[in-house]
Amino acid sequence: MNFEISGKLIVTESIVDVTVSFRKREFVIEVVNERNSDWNDFIKFQLTQDKCLLLDSFNIGDFIKVTFNIRGRKWEKDGNISYFSNLEAWKLEKSSLNATTYPSSISSSPPSPPPLTKDDIPFEKEREDVADF
């Protein structure tokens, strides 16, 4: 499943060669908390392999849209099992958002339905044929 989120690029790390055949690069975006801007979210993503170079065309302070997948792994060592998750970015785009208007938005979440009114709920309507107990 693909997800998208927009925010301001605040950290870019160097490419790290984890093994001979695997490399990664991490970066962080700041996403405005719509309810309280004192509690913005700082979300770290990972780029892997040839995708590491995607970050080269962006600067700190740029507003970007990140398309990513959520990856989870199980890791076992010395009889102890651990689980971890990564946000694996695979597409970066300039965003039209700016410092005063950018809200957090993850596109895979469906919009909330409008609130129901009393007329929308059939069992709320009075019925004359129901006996009182």
pLDDT in tens, 5-18: 999 999 999 999 99
Please tell me the pTM assigned to this model. 0.68
What's the structural domain count of the chain? 1
More confident residue, 114 or 24: 24
Joined together, the tokens standing for residue 50 give 């040839």
> What confidence score (pLDDT) does residue 67 get?
96
58 closest CA partner among 16, 8, 130, 20? 8
Bridge partners of 16? Answer: 24
Q: Residue 61: inside a domain, yes or no?
A: yes
* Nearest-angstrom CA–CA distance, 104 and 123: 37
* Domain coverage including residue 19: 3-124
Burial of 64 (0-12, 13-18, 19+ CB in 10 A): buried
Q: Residue 129: inside a domain, yes or no?
A: no
CATH number of the domain at 7, please.
2.40.50.140
Q: Residue 132: inside a domain, yes or no?
A: no
Bridge partners of 42? Answer: 30
Burial of 92 (0-12, 13-18, 19+ CB in 10 A): buried
Residue 86 confidence (pLDDT) above 70: yes
Bridge partners of 28? Answer: 11, 44
Q: Residue 133: inside a domain, yes or no?
A: no
pLDDT in tens, 40-58: 999 999 999 999 999 999 9
Average pLDDT for the chain: 81
Q: Residue 130: inside a domain, yes or no?
A: no
